[in-house]
Structure 1
Amino acid sequence: MLKPAEMRELRIVCLEEHADAVIKRIDALGSVHLTDIKEFLEEWEGLIEPSKAGATLMQTAELLARIDSLVALLRARTAEGARAGAKKSLREMLFKAPGAEEEQVAARVAARVAERVKERGEERRLAEVEAEFGGLEAAVTELAGERERLRAELSDAEELLGVQKILADFGVNLEFVSGEKNFISVLAGWLPSRNLDALGSSLEAEVGEEQFVASSRAEGEQSFALVVVLKKDRAEAERALARLDFERWQQPLPLPLPLEAEVEAEIKRLERELRENEGKIEALRREKFEDLLEMQELVQIEESKAKVKVLFGRSERVRVLEGWTPKEEVEKVVAGVTEETGGFSVVEVREPAREDVRVPSLLKNPRILKPFEGVVKMYGHPLYKDIDPTLLTALIFPILFGLMFPDIGHGALLLLLGLALVFAFKGLGEEARGAGVIVSLCGACSVVAGALFGEFFGFSEYATHLVEGSVGLQIPHSLHWFVNEPLWFEPIPNVEFMFVVTMLIGVIHMGLGLSLNVVNNFSKKTTLQKLTGLVQIWCLFGALYFLLLLFGFFFDELKTGNTPLLLQNATLFVLLPILLLFVFKVVSELRHDDSGGEGEGEGEGKREGEGKRESRAKRGAKRGGMDYFIILIDGVIDALLENFFRFLANTVSYGRILALALCHAALIEVFILLSFMCLRVNVGVAAVVFLLGTAVVIVLEAIMAGIHTIRLHFYEWFTKFYEGGGVEFTPFRL
């Protein structure tokens, strides 16, 4: 589990007529990750060339786009129907697993697709789908176009009716606001409700008092206004209205305009026709939607096959396919391809190097750890050579969270919430269940940390003394069971000790990362690089010693003036590892220059001939004093900045564990104090304050603890051994 699954490279060579059969078998096996042949062309030395996209790929891509558009249209209609019908209750949304009906539809469609694929050839299937889909597309498009027309006409009619009613309240009709008048201009339209109060003053500033304004304030964002000005003042009035975002109403129908009763009758007619139209679309959806899904899946299969063929290498009669499969699946894949081609194929199996970045990585972790794979992938999918940190993340992540969120009661609530997400709230989907696993483990570790620090819903020995000293009240006897003696210590009265503990945790955490880096690279690194990795661990503990000495914890060399012991320990823990890292870096740079970058790539580092030795001699002869000076500066930067000072900063960064633990305890203690103050007023008020405070602390502190736990993993831990950026193993499926 600490390494991605071991992979094997597959090179499948078959005849052109067997290519489709091989694709189908690989799909059935479901264990082969296919790769573009272009990545391996150099190895074939011109014997094959990459395939080109054929007409089938263009045809299927265009047809699939049309089908997807129609599916989306009819699926949107399904969603509208669901919203118009009975809404799901909260109980159904939380506890009922989604997708039961969709799974049944998918199963029926899959069975029909399998039968159709078995009975008909590729060209016949595509021709049938295109013919069948063409008629369905025309029918749905016509109905959808008619629906849009009806909706537009209905919207215009409803707007016209609304304007008629507003004008009737003003005592005018539609003819008054339509057409040109001899001496006046009438401007009717909509403007933001917030600008309505400024309408009169803005017009008066532009045209004076020779204007009239009537307005109707609507409940929404837009209000209607009728403005009458002299014809000569029209331009000034329009400028004033433009500043207020006035949008003039345009009459939708030519004169003479219909009466209000006629508009109402037109609205009823349009609504009736719209219902009839939607009924036709719904009937078509019920009758043809599964057929449409079948067409979609058939075309997707053909498109996938066409896309895969582009990955092939080709010669006149031969096709070459490159891919990857887990080691334990090799025999099945070889046997399947051989059977499908009747033995007229060659399957070459090769073991790739762990450093090959082309190799996809497959993580094989127990199901309970899968949610933590998501945390790891937020940083980057593991490279094939990487250690898979999922298991260690699953162990360490909840522990760090629990130390930042230490409370028996709060942790128990998180644990119950996580268990509910996993086992009860099935309606929220698989992602919520995965989050529930993480929340459950974090809650359990919070309970343990709360027991160690003696906190239960914020009550502790320190909180008890705080209440007695600040409010002058004794903790009621009924609440004494909330107060527990810590199994270890309380953070607030022992801040210095807690800070030391957090730094120790940080050094152990980062030391684990550095150790994993040494182990992961031990077989492929030079002796110098292996020694550098070990000295980095030494330097990390030296950084811890320096911090403890700096803050005056445990070591009394400075206080007692024991200079010999101080110099001895400082040399052993701080100066010596820094000096060794400096020397190793300088030697590494000198070797790198002398070898012309040897070791940078797997291929070049292995080839060394006379020409390279000559070039090394020339480079050594040309190196000057400035070159050596730059190498020395580089060594200082690497030893001090890149290692020692970085370890110092990383170690102090784990102090956020202390900060979050103190913040959690202090914040809940504030609400406990407020609750006891409210006891003098009313017990109910005190209970409400305590419950609200508990809710605020749990939500706020849990989010903050989660964010900072992720941050410690990404920036302090992963950077020590984990690269990420790998290719995820994705088995080919049609």
Structure 2
Amino acid sequence: MSKVSVTGSKRVIDDVIEATYEHHSLHVTDYDERYEGFEPGESLDGAEAVNERLVTVRSLESILDVEGDEIEVGGALDDAALEAELADVRERVNALNDEHDELRAEIRDRQEEIDRMEPFAELGIELDLLGGYESLEVVVGEAKPDAVEAALTDADGIDAFDVFAGGNVVAIFARPAADADEGVLQDSLVGVDIALLEVPDAEASPTEYVAELERERDDLRSDLTAVDAELASVKEEAAGFLLRAEEQLTIEAQKKEAPLSFATTENAFIAEGWVPTETYADFEAAIDETVGDHAEVEELERASFTPDGDHHTEAVGGDGSASGAAAASTAGADAADADDVEREAATDGGHATHGSDDPPVVQNNGSAAGPFELLVQGFGRPKYSEFDPTLLVFLTFPFMFGLMIGDIGYGVLYAGIGWFLYANYDGAFREMGAVAIWAGLFTVLFGIYYGIDLFGYHAYPLLGIDSWPVAKGLSPADLDWALSWLVVSVVFGLIHLNAGYVLSFVSNLQQHDLKHAIYESASWLLLLNGAWLWIFSQHVPGPKPDFLFESVSVLTLGAVTFSGFPVAVGIAGLVAAGLGVVLLAIGEPAELAEVLSPVVNVISYARLMAVLLAKGGMALAVNLLAFGAYIDNGGSGSFHFIFSAERLAEVQAQPDSYELVFAGMTTAFDPASIGAVGVVALLGGVVVAIIGHIVVLLLGITAAGIQGIRLEYVEFFGKFYEGGGDTYLPFGYERQYTAEDN
């Protein structure tokens, strides 16, 4: 990327903005008021009016729910035509929208009145009979009649009462005693669970009144439907105009507000930003063709950055001429007092820039790895100086996810969910869908590898295969596989972290020198590999578990045996680790406190095995509850699901050969003697299986997804990646609805 400045007279600022906008390559840098004599620019004339119209257009689009998926490109709109049509659409839409809101409010009022009257309609007593007595007190409310009668029977101050009930509503008529206070009836009901109702003031009977309200409500709903139809008609007519108007006004607003990022004086302006170096010549030519000598374009620097954020300026031009102050003065010569323009000189005699901003970043990882930029950006967009790890995340995250879940059924569902997101949404949801598709495909692949696992069920017998050599390690006979997956997780962690440290070494070597690369990266590489060479060696074998070495034979199905690296290799590993500590002490002594992190970070990858066993165990438990399971070889073999009452009887008849783990719910159903209990058990088992596997599916997303991302962010990125770069946002607009001649 090249940092450039455009310096010119304010007389041509409109033309320069237009040319820059059309070229669509300059990432504008905001001026931060650091130089005496310069101040941020002001919006061009008419910006306020443009923004007001833009707000109006977007408000109308929101009311009409305009999306524009099928709107064709149209021609430019002149200001008079745009203003006239916008006023017409605004008037029609606002009138219909106001009517829409009024109708909704009236419908809501009618519904509230209906809700208030319905209890009285259930009660079945005319409203004029529920009040107006001199010798009686009347209360209406929602309560249980028995509770009301019990309370009033024992109440003092009540000579007589009667309770009428209809649905959940009661009407209580009571004659107070001669010496009772007013309101004695309500006081007597204090201990009763009753919701008092206010008697409406209406002449008609409750039933008739409710019916009339419902008719009015239905008429209002018909009117509302008609208004919605008119709004839909207006949307069909005006959607194209509104989208074109929004795009045109957005472009105009951006142009008029562009000077807010410029450094300006009374007569001149300086705009700075970044352009791809290969486009600089075309950008300079575009400005020169538009305004000639009234503006000058200068390439300030071609930035070369180091991973720690330092940068230097690659020589540009060679003669050191055309400083910012001189260029501003030259351009300002077309206006009065332009000679007063000054700008702080750069230390190398060149242009003094707005600030020390880093170049913006463009990520371009192709169609396959591209969606994984979403995961990288969740940590932070790469800086201009950094290696973009998107490709490595693409190669490792789906692998880790598939390893942890490893089930064909779940994998197909994950891929299906991903396809739905990918096909129906844009932006982040579409990218998330692509990530889910890749994760689902790897889950399917590992599901096949683990024994054609289908929702926790080994389906290889259905293909006529008697046995499968690979297992997750959930059965008593397969415990060696569980420990082997722990070793696989550790070895994967070693490879993953080595890649991170190698990237750190290469970056330091390219941007600094060999010394920095050795002290800051090679030291950790020596520590990492030296320590784990010793762990996998026969030097001091006592504390090292046997499965570290035996797992190689398990994983290779006996084709390769491994008893550990020779003692000499282990000693060499210790020497390498010690050398790493020495280099670290010389180059980065503050990091000696983290000297054990290479060992700890690798062990952190054991979560791959943990999630694999946890999710496999959950799927096994769901199937066990629903379909029943037993272990063959008297309890020392593998899990097998029962499914049927007939098979359950066979298992129970051979206790020496089979250990019954759980009989299962569906096995209570016997087709030979169908009974109610068996049918209920069958349905219950199916429900348990469906809900259980949905839970496992969702927990797989949170467990495997989060743990995989954590390993990428914490263990892997922490070795070479910082993030925090800025997105490359060139000044301009990608048109969708208006022609380029606008």
TM-score (norm 2): 0.68
1:246-265 map, 5 Å: 246=195, 251=200, 260=209, 263=213
Whether 1:582 and 2:570 are equivalent positions in the alignment is: no
Q: Distance in 1 between matches of 2:16 and 2:151?
A: 79
Aligned to 1:336: 286
Q: Distance in 2 between matches of 1:153 and 1:484?
A: 70
Aligned to 1:351: 302
Whether 1:151 and 2:104 are equivalent positions in the alignment is: yes
Whether 1:16 and 2:10 are equivalent positions in the alignment is: yes
**1:577-611: CA deviations, max 9, x gaps?**
3344234344xxxxxxxxxxxxxxxxxxxxxxxxx
Aligned to 1:647: 598
Whether 1:73 and 2:63 are equivalent positions in the alignment is: yes
Whether 1:484 and 2:468 are equivalent positions in the alignment is: yes
Q: Distance in 1 between matches of 2:199 and 2:55?
A: 38
Residue 367 of structure 1 and its aligned partner are, at CA, apart by 1.5
**1:277-310: CA deviations, max 9, x gaps?**
4454444444444434444333323322233221
Residue 267 of structure 1 and its aligned partner are, at CA, apart by 4.1
Q: Distance in 1 between matches of 2:83 and 2:198?
A: 46
**1:461-481: CA deviations, max 9, x gaps?**
xx89xxxxxxxxxx96x5542
| Distance 1:431-1:188 versus aligned 2 partners, 3 A rule | farther
| Distance 1:141-1:721 versus aligned 2 partners, 3 A rule | same
Kept in 1: contact 2:29–2:261 (CA 8 A): yes
Residue 517 of structure 1 and its aligned partner are, at CA, apart by 1.7
Q: Give the counterpart letter for 1:677 in structure 2.
A: I
SS in 1 for 2:2: strand
Aligned to 1:385: 385
Q: Give the counterpart letter for 1:651 in structure 2.
A: V
Aligned to 2:123: 170
Q: Distance in 1 between matches of 2:398 and 2:468?
A: 23
Q: Distance in 1 between matches of 2:246 and 2:151?
A: 60
Kept in 2: contact 1:459–1:482 (CA 8 A): no
| Distance 1:729-1:691 versus aligned 2 partners, 3 A rule | same
1:132-147 map, 5 Å: 132-147=85-100
**1:640-662: CA deviations, max 9, x gaps?**
3x232x33321111001122233
Q: Distance in 1 between matches of 2:506 and 2:453?
A: 42
SS in 2 for 1:103: coil
Q: Distance in 2 between matches of 1:31 and 1:164?
A: 68
| Distance 1:664-1:64 versus aligned 2 partners, 3 A rule | same
| Distance 1:481-1:337 versus aligned 2 partners, 3 A rule | farther
| Distance 1:269-1:11 versus aligned 2 partners, 3 A rule | same
Whether 1:60 and 2:50 are equivalent positions in the alignment is: yes
| Distance 1:212-1:502 versus aligned 2 partners, 3 A rule | farther
Aligned to 2:557: none
Q: Give the counterpart letter for 2:423 in structure 1.
A: K
Residue 226 of structure 1 and its aligned partner are, at CA, apart by 5.7
Kept in 2: contact 1:314–1:320 (CA 8 A): yes
Residue 59 of structure 1 and its aligned partner are, at CA, apart by 3.4
Residue 136 of structure 1 and its aligned partner are, at CA, apart by 4.0
Aligned to 1:612: none
Kept in 2: contact 1:545–1:573 (CA 8 A): no
Aligned to 2:401: 401
Whether 1:710 and 2:709 are equivalent positions in the alignment is: yes
Q: Distance in 2 between matches of 1:370 and 1:382?
A: 14
Aligned to 1:572: 575
Aligned to 1:438: 435
Kept in 1: contact 2:376–2:389 (CA 8 A): yes
Number of equivalenced pairs: 600
Q: Give the counterpart letter for 1:442 in structure 2.
A: A
Consecutive unaligned residues in structure 2, runs of 5 or more: 177-181, 310-355, 550-562, 630-639, 649-664, 668-681, 734-742
SS in 1 for 2:495: helix
SS in 1 for 2:382: coil
Aligned to 1:426: 423
Q: Distance in 1 between matches of 2:709 and 2:40?
A: 43
Give the alignment partner of residue 499 of structure 2, picking from 496, 506, 512. 512
Q: Give the counterpart letter for 1:717 in structure 2.
A: F
Q: Distance in 2 between matches of 1:374 and 1:555?
A: 37
**1:387-418: CA deviations, max 9, x gaps?**
100111111222222322345x4587369648
SS in 1 for 2:106: helix
Q: Give the counterpart letter for 1:150 in structure 2.
A: L
Structure 1 or 2: more helix by fraction: 1
Q: Distance in 1 between matches of 2:125 and 2:641?
A: 67
Q: Distance in 1 between matches of 2:116 and 2:140?
A: 9
Q: Distance in 1 between matches of 2:509 and 2:101?
A: 68
Consecutive unaligned residues in structure 1, runs of 5 or more: 1-6, 79-98, 218-222, 465-474, 587-634
Aligned to 2:352: none
Give the alignment partner of residue 255 of structure 2, picking from 298, 305, 324. 305
TM-score (norm 1): 0.69
Kept in 1: contact 2:399–2:439 (CA 8 A): yes
Percent identity of equivalent pairs: 23
Residue 529 of structure 1 and its aligned partner are, at CA, apart by 6.5
**1:209-262: CA deviations, max 9, x gaps?**
957776766xxxxx8676667742477489779x97x585585x7879996365
Aligned to 2:364: 364
Give the alignment partner of residue 268 of structure 2, picking from 293, 318, 326. 318
Residue 362 of structure 1 and its aligned partner are, at CA, apart by 0.7
Kept in 2: contact 1:206–1:237 (CA 8 A): no
Q: Distance in 2 between matches of 1:184 and 1:487?
A: 83
RMSD of equivalent CA atoms? 4.6
Moved more, 426-435 or 712-721: 426-435
Q: Give the counterpart letter for 2:251 in structure 1.
A: I
Residue 728 of structure 1 and its aligned partner are, at CA, apart by 1.2
Aligned to 1:32: 26
Q: Give the counterpart letter for 1:12 in structure 2.
A: V
Q: Distance in 2 between matches of 1:382 and 1:304?
A: 27
Whether 1:723 and 2:717 are equivalent positions in the alignment is: no
**1:485-529: CA deviations, max 9, x gaps?**
349999742444432332122122112112212222334447356
Q: Distance in 1 between matches of 2:530 and 2:157?
A: 85
Q: Give the counterpart letter for 1:148 in structure 2.
A: D
Q: Distance in 2 between matches of 1:510 and 1:128?
A: 63
SS in 2 for 1:352: strand
Q: Distance in 2 between matches of 1:282 and 1:659?
A: 55
Kept in 2: contact 1:14–1:341 (CA 8 A): no
| Distance 1:316-1:565 versus aligned 2 partners, 3 A rule | same
SS in 2 for 1:37: coil
Q: Distance in 1 between matches of 2:265 and 2:240?
A: 41
Higher relative contact order at CA 8 Å, sep ≥6: structure 1 or structure 2?
1
| Distance 1:535-1:134 versus aligned 2 partners, 3 A rule | same
Aligned to 1:632: none
1:626-645 map, 5 Å: 635=590, 638-640=591-593, 642-644=594-596
**1:532-587: CA deviations, max 9, x gaps?**
3211121223443575565445999xxx9xxx98995685254443344234344x
Q: Give the counterpart letter for 2:271 in structure 1.
A: L
Aligned to 2:519: 531
Moved more, 346-355 or 665-674: 665-674
Q: Give the counterpart letter for 1:724 in structure 2.
A: G
| Distance 1:570-1:31 versus aligned 2 partners, 3 A rule | closer
| Distance 1:419-1:705 versus aligned 2 partners, 3 A rule | closer
Aligned to 2:529: 541
Kept in 2: contact 1:207–1:236 (CA 8 A): no
